Amino acid sequence: MVTLLLDSAQLEVVLSGVEHALAFRKRNVMIDRSAIAKVQLTDDAWTWLRGVPGPGTHVPGTVAIGTWKHAGAADFVLIRRHRPGVVIDLAGHDEFERIIVSTRHGLALVQALRLDVDEQAADVADLATGTIPVAPAPAKKPARKRAPKAAPATG
């Protein structure tokens, strides 16, 4: 799972050793907070892929990690299976136009980006303290009482 670190100046997508190798990338992805134009949650990050991998690793439906090039621009993707994720549109970033990552902490990222945070980087899951809003469960309909069966007539 991807780790997202956030401080007052930047968001860092921290890659594990395996992710570095599959992405053909030596460094983590660093994003100035001022370059973040829009953040969207998605149920399936695969629908946001555009272009072709280069360099990167792509096993359809299983994993997409690395740089995706398209029309003279590039996106950074880190997608595993068909899991929920987050799409971060960037404006003025020197390397990428969009970051697409599978993470169960997408809502926490959105909440953490709204906060004023310290100079020290912290995991977005830890920053988004408090309760995460969850849609209430649908109300159950009351069980209908059935009329008792009529007793057979005796005569």
Between CA 19 and CA 21 the distance in angstroms is: 5
Please check the confidence at residue 111 and state whether its pLDDT lies above 90.
Answer: no
Cα 5 → chain centroid: 13
Please check the confidence at residue 41 and state whether its pLDDT lies above 80.
Answer: yes
Domain assignment present for 139: no
Give the mean pLDDT of the chain. 82
Mean pLDDT of 94-112: 89
Residue 115 or residue 53, greater confidence: 53
Tokens 């069966």 map to which residue?
Answer: 149
Residue 153 or residue 48, greater confidence: 48
Domain assignment present for 53: yes
Q: The domain containing residue 11 runs over which residues?
A: 3-127
How many CB atoms neighbour CB 86 within 10 A?
A: 25
Contacts (Cβ under 8 Å, ≥6 apart) of 5: 11, 12, 14, 121, 122, 123, 124
- Asked whether 123 and 104 are in contact (CB, 8 A), the reply is no
Encoded tokens for 67: 């740089």
Mean pLDDT of 20-32: 93
Encoded tokens for 2: 């991807």
Report the number of distinct structural domains present in the chain. 1
Residue-level pLDDT at 106: 84
Domain assignment present for 140: no
Domain assignment present for 55: yes
Domain assignment present for 83: yes
Domain assignment present for 154: no
Domain assignment present for 147: no
